[in-house]
Amino acid sequence: MAEVSHFSGSLHIDITDSTIRYMRTEASLLLPIFRSANQARVLSEVFLVEERRSIQELSKKLAIPYATLHKEIGRLLDAGLIVEEKVGNYRLIAANRKSLYYKPMFELLEIAFGPVPKLRSAMREIPGISRVLIFGSWARRGLGHHGSLPHDIDVLVVGEPDVGKIYATCGRLTKELGWIMSPTIMTEDEWKTDTPFLRTVRKGGLISVIGETK
């Protein structure tokens, strides 16, 4: 059962357990260059997830009414940013990879609406963390190396946090973002120790979420 409350022109919806906890205001846009918050959320969902989805699936996942989403999809189709394929009674939506805007749009959305800002926001709520870093294939792609879109994100958490909270947070973000969040936790002393694992991690590249990479 969802609980809805209105205040100061904002809409808050809390849905229990494993569905969606969603807050929408115009000020919540991480990259305020889009026409609306809904447009940004639709684009990020379509561009950052490889699977094609129907409008019904997107409506349910994003908690956007079908009629509203249908209009937004129409605008994006007219602009050539997305494409659709009709399969039976369903219209399957995907990013238009042939568009001249695809690459720059993907990069903007990946930076602004991908895992880094959401991981940063979530991890800041957990005491005892001195740094959070992304390593592995997602970091290499984020640093400009070519390769297919990763399906998991390797997260290095340094400090002395509650381990259960780290795993719970990564589990929640996995459901929310669609990328598997795989945490590795170590102390500051362990981080400063020269080990084969850390040499490989540093050589492959690191993206800072919280704190320094050195």
Helices (H), the chain: 37-48, 55-62, 66-78, 102-113, 115-123, 137-142, 163-177, 188-191, 196-204
Indicate the pairing of strand 180-186 with strand 90-95: unpaired
pLDDT at 126: 97
Q: Which residues is 207 bridged to in the sheet?
A: 134
3.90.1640.10, 3.30.460.10, 3.40.50.300, 3.10.290.10: CATH of 114-210: 3.30.460.10
Class of domain 31-106: mainly alpha
pLDDT at 8: 35
pLDDT at 31: 66
Domain limits, the chain: 31-106, 114-210
Tell me, what amino acid is at 49?
A: V
> Do 31-106 and 114-210 have matching folds?
no
Q: Is the pTM of this model over 0.75?
A: no
Mean pLDDT per segment of 10 residues, for the chain of length 214 residues? 38 31 37 82 87 91 92 95 92 94 89 83 95 90 69 93 97 87 96 95 92 88
Q: Which residues is 10 bridged to in the sheet?
A: 7
DSSP secondary structure code for residue 2 in this structure: -
